[in-house]
Amino acid sequence: MSCCAPGVELTSGDIAANRAEEVRLASRDVGDGLRQTDLSVPAMHCGGCIQTVERALNALPGVEGARVNLSSKRATIRWHDSATPPPFVETLRGIGYDAHLFDPSAERKDNTLSELLRALAVAGFAASNIMLLSVSVWAGADASTRDLFHAISALIALPALAYSGRVFFRSAWSALKHGRTNMDVPISIGVTMAFGLSLYETFHHGAHAYFDASVTLLFFLLIGRTLDHLMRERARTAVKGLAQLAARGALVAQPDGSNVYLPVNDIQIGMTILLAAGERVPVDGRVTSGQSDIDRSLLTGESAPVPVTDGAELQAGTLNLTGPLTLIATAVARDSFLAEMMRLMETAEAGRSAYRRIADRASRLYAPVVHAAALLTMIGWLIATGDLHRAVTIAIAVLIITCPCALGLAVPMVQVMAARRLFERGMLLKDGGALERLAEIDTVVFDKTGTLTLGQPRLLHPESVDTDALGIAAAMATHSRHPYSRALAAAGATIASPLDAGAVAEIPGAGLEARIGTHIYRLGRASWALSQSDDDITDSANVVLSRDGQSVARFAFEDRLRDGARETIAELTNNGFAVEVLSGDRDEAVRRIAGDLGAQHLSEVTPAGKVARVSAIESSGRRVLMVGDGLNDAPALAAAHASMAPASAADVGRNAADLVFLHESLRAVPEAIGIARNAARLVQQNLALAIGYNVIAVPIAVLGYVTPLIAAVAMSSSSVIVIANALRLRGVKRNRRAARTPTTHLVAQPVTGRGA
């Protein structure tokens, strides 16, 4: 009889199966047979960590791709939806990185900053006191006083190194324990060797000790790492701000008539949400009853409230201001527009531009190169002088001075700042590599409808239309979702008499037909609605209303230019950019808008034609920025060197674009280009600073002209300089000179069926 308690003992296979099922439940379907899993990897802190983690995850069978975001310390893995998820967590733990499934609902306190600040304070206090003792020694203290001050310095340095150095020692030991190296390995070796050499000198009554160098090195390294953490925290602040806009839950109506408060993650599509005034919309939804004003500044950047009523679509995170609303949920929390914005912000830094790939490769080669350089330096000096003490001292200086921290920070710091600046201007950057591409563009191609214009036609001169005819047209138009039908329905809403739905038929590509009494009314294209062609009507109207084939009324519509369109085109042209309008609309409408804006144009272009045109421009040696919003623009957005889309764009258009701007104004285009070019200039400056530092400093150290103390100060100062340079990034100055002329209204043309 067994002495154990009755029960079933789990095997290692059962545990693995449970972990795999947990990973599957925490992942989400991203289409094309792929799923996405987010892992939190808190131990990552440098470019070498990014390379190690991504390389390990990408090597797993079934993984389509893995990206690391160092700011959020998160790894995003896309894997093929097979029977068993790959062992992500186990793999990372096997190479020394503790990892767990990311849980957005769990608020974990980040203790990294407080740990860094405490370590920095201890190192700074110790360094300042040891430096005071060193000054006394340098001033000409006698041998006994010198030995005493060295001993006191050792007593101060030892606990300081043990406490402040653990930030680096932990990381270095973890790397070595798993058979790899990182930036912290040579740093730890250099600090330890400098302390050990100083201890040796103290015991043997040597003239020089380097306790000040080892502790000062830690102090400056911690300054750089703390600034690095603060910079990344500034990038995360935008995402955290968005997360704070998400409602924690909502009151949901139950089938039995009761109301239950549910956490936002438990709200499913189709649930009825009761939203009180003053509450934020928890998930994307459609209003089914109630009237209110909504603050949509999160989406558009405009603070003016927007009135909503039945049928209005609301996005998660927007604020209900004045009245209660009843909503039907149209998306779950993780698929809401707010969640998409957060994902865009989190992935902004994860892209790999050419500059960043160069910096990452250089950082990855750093450890073996530095170790080899220090070893060869020691051997060379030992052969040349026979002085082991001097050879070791110079080798330590080489080990300390050749830190690639500045090179590792050169690109990501600028990308983090650029993503932040763009977000402050109402733009979401989806890929850090897009910054580099955006800085290279010299041609801007705009879609027309929905991009240059708002794509919301309004009836032109409704007061000149016969009231009875307008009422009939509006009654028919309520049975169609066509933009012109919506405009007619809105214009005649107060005078239209309802028509039976069965009496109205919509003819795709032509218009609406209705039987009223003994008459047949048609509302649509003149060529279809009229029994005989009338060139005068065809040229002057977009839509006609006919009775038994005879004209009753004609309707022309207007479409407004998007805010800032005229100023944007003028600014781009003045700055030397080629500007072109590419649209599927009729030539007359496109020519009118393009001519008014002073841009070249192509009309009646299919989606494939847009791709061909973009490709033709790029094949001539130019770099294209495509700005579009529609489903038919998505292929051209993907084909262009860089791309932008408004937040009002179709989902596929937003997904294809590199940047999404949240407000209505096209001023986002020149502003984004300006920020990207400023960022590119700072990246080049940072790389030049980092490379120039090593080109100058390493030979000087190898030749023996640098002590470990000077090496510590020089190396740490280079990192601080690179970070400070990244902080100089500013957005382009806003154009505060508003246009004094009224917004131009443009007469639109009938839709050709190709899509504008």
Angle at alpha carbon of residue 238, lines to 236 and 240, rounded to 5°: 70
Distance separating alpha carbons of residues 569 and 448, to the nearest angstrom: 13
Q: Are both 627 and 505 inside the same structural domain?
A: no
Q: What is the CATH number of the domain that holds 426?
A: 3.40.50.1000
- Domain-ending residue, one of 677, 708, 741: 677
Of 61-75, 184-198, 259-273, 329-343, minimum mean pLDDT range: 329-343
Q: What is the mean pLDDT of residues 644-673?
A: 79
Q: Are both 444 and 581 inside the same structural domain?
A: yes
Stronger pLDDT, 382 or 396, i.e. the higher one: 382
- pLDDT per position as a tens digit, 201-234: 888 887 777 787 778 778 877 876 776 676 556 5
pLDDT at position 533 is 63
Q: What is the 3-state secondary structure (H, E, C) of 437-500?
A: HHHHCCEEEECHHHHHECCCCEECCHHHCCHHHHHHHHHHHCCCCCHHHHHHHHHCCCCCCCCC
Indicate the length of the chain as a whole number. Answer: 756
**Helix H or strand E segment including 417:** helix 405-424
The answer to whether residue 211 sits within a structural domain is: yes
DSSP letters spanning 296-350: -HHHHS--S-EEE-TT-EE-TT-EE-SS-EEEEE-S-GGGSHHHHHHHHHHHTTT
CB 407 within 8 A of CB 362: yes
Phi and psi torsions of 278, nearest 5°: 90, -5
Residue 236: pLDDT above 60?
A: no
Beta bridge partners of 516: 519
| End-to-end Cα, the chain, rounded Å | 80
Closest by CA position to 409, among listed 716, 743, 755 = 716
The answer to whether residue 623 sits within a structural domain is: yes
Q: Are both 445 and 583 inside the same structural domain?
A: yes
CB 721 within 8 A of CB 674: no
Per-residue CA distances from 592 to 450, 541, 587 (Å): 16, 15, 8
Helix axes 211-245, 708-726, angle to 10 degrees: 20
The answer to whether residue 621 sits within a structural domain is: yes
Q: What is the mean pLDDT of residues 723-736?
A: 66
Q: What is the CATH number of the domain that holds 67?
A: 3.30.70.100
Q: What is the CATH number of the domain that holds 500?
A: 3.40.1110.10
Range of the domain at 467: 461-555
Q: Are both 448 and 572 inside the same structural domain?
A: yes
CB 248 within 8 A of CB 261: no
Q: Are both 96 and 133 inside the same structural domain?
A: no
Q: How confident is the model at residue 651 (pLDDT cuts 50, 70, 90)?
A: low
Most confident of 122-131, 169-178, 532-541: 122-131
Per-residue CA distances from 138 to 134, 142, 163 (Å): 6, 10, 28
Using CA atoms in the order 197, 203, 205, 211, what is the torsion angle rounded to 10 degrees? Answer: 40
Of 186-200, 476-490, 534-548, 723-737, minimum mean pLDDT range: 723-737
Task: Tell me the one-letter amino acid at 566.
Answer: R
Beta bridge partners of 551: 546
Residue 297: pLDDT above 50?
A: yes
Residue 612: pLDDT above 80?
A: yes
Helix axes 708-726, 405-424, angle to 10 degrees: 20
With a CB cutoff of 8 Å and minimum separation 6, the contacts of 223 are 120, 716, 720
The answer to whether residue 634 sits within a structural domain is: yes
Number of domains forming the structure of the chain: 5
Residue 561: DSSP 8-state: B
- pLDDT per position as a tens digit, 517-575: 888 999 988 888 888 765 555 454 578 899 988 888 888 877 778 888 888 899 999 99
What b/e string do you get for 165-192 counting C-beta neighbours within 10 Å, with b at 16 or more? bebbbebbebbeeeeebbbbbbbbbbbb
Q: What is the CATH number of the domain that holds 326?
A: 2.70.150.10
Residue 756: DSSP 8-state: -
Q: Are both 38 and 166 inside the same structural domain?
A: no
pLDDT at position 364 is 58
Stronger pLDDT, 384 or 71, i.e. the higher one: 384
As to burial, measured by CB atoms within 10 angstroms (0-12 exposed, 13-18 middle, 19+ buried), residue 62 is middle
Q: Are both 52 and 161 inside the same structural domain?
A: no
Long-range pairs of 136-141 with CB within 8 A, sequence gap ≥ 24: none
Q: Are both 272 and 188 inside the same structural domain?
A: no
The answer to whether residue 370 sits within a structural domain is: no
pLDDT at position 409 is 66
pLDDT at position 1 is 41
Q: What is the mean pLDDT of residues 228-244?
A: 57
Q: What is the mean pLDDT of residues 139-160?
A: 85
Phi and psi torsions of 67, nearest 5°: -130, 140
Residue 304: pLDDT above 60?
A: no
Residue 3: pLDDT above 70?
A: no
Q: Which residues are catalytic?
A: 447
With a CB cutoff of 8 Å and minimum separation 6, the contacts of 182 are 46, 48, 49, 52, 171, 172, 175, 367
Residue 1: DSSP 8-state: -
Q: How confident is the model at residue 321 (pLDDT cuts 50, 70, 90)?
A: confident
Neighbours of 354 (CB within 10 A): 11
With a CB cutoff of 8 Å and minimum separation 6, the contacts of 595 are 601
Closest by CA position to 242, among listed 138, 344, 170, 131 = 344
The answer to whether residue 687 sits within a structural domain is: no
Residue 512: pLDDT above 50?
A: yes
Of 254-263, 389-398, 693-702, minimum mean pLDDT range: 254-263
Mean per-residue pLDDT of the chain: 76
Distance separating alpha carbons of residues 168 and 87, to the nearest angstrom: 28
pLDDT at position 163 is 92
Helices and strands (H and E) in the chain: how many: 25, 29
Closest by CA position to 613, among listed 582, 644, 590 = 582
Beta bridge partners of 83: none
pLDDT at position 328 is 92
Q: Are both 466 and 528 inside the same structural domain?
A: yes
- Domain-ending residue, one of 329, 346, 363: 346
Phi and psi torsions of 285, nearest 5°: -155, 170
As to burial, measured by CB atoms within 10 angstroms (0-12 exposed, 13-18 middle, 19+ buried), residue 621 is exposed
Helix axes 143-164, 184-203, angle to 10 degrees: 150
- pLDDT per position as a tens digit, 677-704: 988 888 888 888 888 887 888 898 888 8
Q: Are both 478 and 543 inside the same structural domain?
A: yes
Q: What is the mean pLDDT of residues 292-317?
A: 71
Tokens of 707: 């002590």
Place of tokens 């998660």: 316
Q: Are both 137 and 213 inside the same structural domain?
A: yes
Neighbours of 282 (CB within 10 A): 28
- pTM over 0.75? The answer is no
Percent of the chain with pLDDT over 70: 77
Distance separating alpha carbons of residues 488 and 474, to the nearest angstrom: 5
pLDDT at position 744 is 30
Helix axes 587-597, 565-574, angle to 10 degrees: 60
Helix axes 112-138, 211-245, angle to 10 degrees: 160
Neighbours of 495 (CB within 10 A): 13
Tokens of 505: 């038929």
Neighbours of 10 (CB within 10 A): 10
pLDDT at position 534 is 59
As to burial, measured by CB atoms within 10 angstroms (0-12 exposed, 13-18 middle, 19+ buried), residue 704 is middle
Q: How confident is the model at residue 366 (pLDDT cuts 50, 70, 90)?
A: low
Phi and psi torsions of 224, nearest 5°: -60, -45
pLDDT at position 661 is 85
Distance separating alpha carbons of residues 537 and 515, to the nearest angstrom: 23
- pLDDT per position as a tens digit, 396-436: 888 778 766 666 667 767 877 887 788 878 888 776 677 88
CB 711 within 8 A of CB 702: no
pLDDT at position 196 is 85
- Measured in whole angstroms, the distance separating CA 578 from the mean position of its chain's CA atoms is 27
Q: How confident is the model at residue 41 (pLDDT cuts 50, 70, 90)?
A: confident
pLDDT at position 6 is 45
pLDDT at position 340 is 67
Residue 644: pLDDT above 80?
A: yes
Task: Tell me the one-letter amino acid at 698.
Answer: V
Most confident of 146-155, 171-180, 530-539: 146-155
pLDDT at position 756 is 32
pLDDT at position 327 is 92
The answer to whether residue 2 sits within a structural domain is: no
Distance separating alpha carbons of residues 239 and 488, to the nearest angstrom: 42
Residue 485: pLDDT above 90?
A: no
- Domain-ending residue, one of 316, 346, 376: 346
Q: Are both 120 and 232 inside the same structural domain?
A: yes
pLDDT at position 521 is 92
Distance separating alpha carbons of residues 472 and 465, to the nearest angstrom: 12
The answer to whether residue 445 sits within a structural domain is: yes
Per-residue CA distances from 671 to 414, 418, 450, 561, 564 (Å): 17, 12, 20, 19, 12
- pLDDT per position as a tens digit, 596-607: 888 888 887 777
